[in-house]
Amino acid sequence: MAATMVLGVVGKDGLAQIKVRVQDFKTKLQIKQGTGLYINESIWAKRNDEKARDKFLKHDDIRRTLETADEIRRTVNSIFEERGTISKEELRELIQSIVYREEIEQQRVEKEEAERQAAEKAKITLVQFIDKYVTEIKSGARQTERGTNFSPNTVRSVKQALVQFQRFCKYKKKEYNFGDIDMQFYHDFTSYLKAEIKDKKGIVLKEAYNVNTTGKCIRTLKNILSIAESEGLHSNSIWKDKKFKGTRIETESIYLTREDLDKIMKADLSKHGTGHDQARDIFMVGVWTAQRVSDYNYITKEQIYTHTKRWIEDVPDPENPGQTKAEIRTKEIMYISLIQKKTGAQVSIPVSSELKGILEKYDYCLPHLEDQVINRYLKDICKEAGLTESVEILETKGGTPVRNRYPKWDLVHTHTARRTGATLMYLSGMDLYDIMKITGHTTPVMLKKYIKADKLDIIEKITDKYNYFD
């Protein structure tokens, strides 16, 4: 058996197609297949003449034709040595792969490039992913790591932070994609957030944000980039640099004293609607439970339990003067048990007399108001309560510390309830670790950030607890 190269019929132009002929007398295999290669008959006849061949090989077209024909022959023979046979279809495909190698390779490269470009075009951009992410956490299609829905407050907070990024893109007239997030972007974005921006007429288009608001925007964006990376949408890791950080500082905030709470409860809200009265009650539930608004604004009857405590106590025996007898004592303990939406921690809060009074008012089915509504009503409630004293607050605007004074009513919001509850527990002498079991804080350090007692309150607490200073 042998594969030989033969010349086909010569055309008027003097060219003839080179064909491969495969013969195997043992298997009676007879195949003759055109290669698509054409050559002058006289050149083909002299291809084995050493002097003539050297002359022919100086011409690229002739050299490539002869070398390609020889490669076909050698490849076919190699296949026969290995397998002992070859089909006409295999021979045709083999010839195609050798003769049109460059064209096939070019087509492959073009196809891969077209696929790459199509994939790149189809790949979601950072702005598109942000819109998708916000939509999914709002609808519940994307859940937390604990497998629960994101709370409305979290959705609102994330949305507000990402809106700042989208406004920055509009301000810079550039749609930043994943690959554009570098240290220069970080400096530009944080500078934008901290700056007050005005138009040509001096009208303020954007206020200067404080350090914590700026940090919140950066931390939210970093979280988005982390999620997108885990989903294979980008490989940019510059945002992981320790300098690419969302700074956060402890802010000054107020708590309400017992006197403040008494004023709030006694405030005449008759000129307002029932919503104000409900907002006051919901806020006071937050005070007496020391929970976040995402928890105390959603307390249901199913979360309220009663436990009967029993113990044996020795009491005077009226029938035997001077002696005692054992009696079983009981006490009903009401408590609220809930799983905090933000942390997933389960906490149990004993129900105080003040809290019980509010629960009974609504037959243990508390009303629900949106957080923004409660905050708006709280301003009216605290004004009516006479919380008008001026309070100095240290703030950071555009990176600069500034001391401003506000009326106390203007500083009260839904989270003031949690700070107030934790602070009042502390001032009552309650152990920090017991307070942590109620508030859900995991460390005393985190809890102490919530305790906002002023110096005089601390002095009273110390002198009441210890007689050292008597």
Mean local confidence (pLDDT), 141-150:
85
> Residue 124's pLDDT band (boundaries 50, 70, 90)?
confident
Backbone angles phi, psi at 84, to 5 degrees: 80, 5
Q: Is the pLDDT of residue 292 over 60?
A: yes
Overall residue count recorded for the chain in this entry: 470
Least confident of 21-35, 273-287, 300-314: 21-35
> Residue 189's pLDDT band (boundaries 50, 70, 90)?
very high
| Rounded Cα gap, residues 87 and 25, in angstroms | 15
> Residue 429's pLDDT band (boundaries 50, 70, 90)?
confident
pLDDT given at position 53 = 72
| Rounded Cα gap, residues 470 and 468, in angstroms | 6
Q: Is the pLDDT of residue 207 over 90?
A: no
Q: 258-301+360-465 has which CATH code?
A: 1.10.443
pLDDT given at position 54 = 73
Structure tokens at 340: 């905090």
pLDDT tens digits for 160-181? Answer: 888 899 899 999 999 999 999 9
- What residues does each domain of the chain span? 2-113, 126-240, 258-301+360-465
pLDDT given at position 374 = 95
Mean local confidence (pLDDT), 412-431:
90
Q: Is the pLDDT of residue 455 over 70?
A: no
pLDDT given at position 459 = 55
Q: Is the pLDDT of residue 87 over 80?
A: yes
Bigger pLDDT: 324 or 260?
260
As a whole number of Å, the CA-based R_g of the chain is 42
Bigger pLDDT: 393 or 17?
17
pLDDT given at position 453 = 58
The Cβ of residue 288 has, within 10 Å, a number of other Cβ atoms equal to 25
Task: Tell me the average pLDDT of the chain.
Answer: 86
Residue 82 near residue 74, CB atoms below 8 Å: no
pLDDT given at position 391 = 86
Structure tokens at 380: 């009216």
The Cβ of residue 287 has, within 10 Å, a number of other Cβ atoms equal to 25
Least confident of 86-95, 166-175, 228-237, 446-455: 446-455
| Rounded Cα gap, residues 186 and 220, in angstroms | 13
pLDDT given at position 468 = 43
The pTM (predicted TM-score) of the whole model is: 0.60
Task: Report strand pairing: 390-397 vs 197-198.
Answer: unpaired
pLDDT given at position 287 = 96
Residue 66 near residue 56, CB atoms below 8 Å: yes
Q: Is the pLDDT of residue 1 over 60?
A: no
Q: What percent of the chain has pLDDT over 90?
A: 40
pLDDT given at position 282 = 96
Q: Is the pLDDT of residue 460 over 60?
A: no
Mapping DSSP onto H, E and C, the string for 380-427 reads: HHHHHCCCCCEEEEEEEECCEEEEEEEEHHHHCCHHHHHHHHHHHHHH
Mean local confidence (pLDDT), 294-319:
89
Mean local confidence (pLDDT), 300-313:
90
> Residue 209's pLDDT band (boundaries 50, 70, 90)?
confident
Q: Is the pLDDT of residue 463 over 60?
A: no
Least confident of 45-59, 191-205, 303-317: 45-59
Least confident of 1-5, 75-79, 270-274, 345-349: 1-5
pLDDT given at position 469 = 43
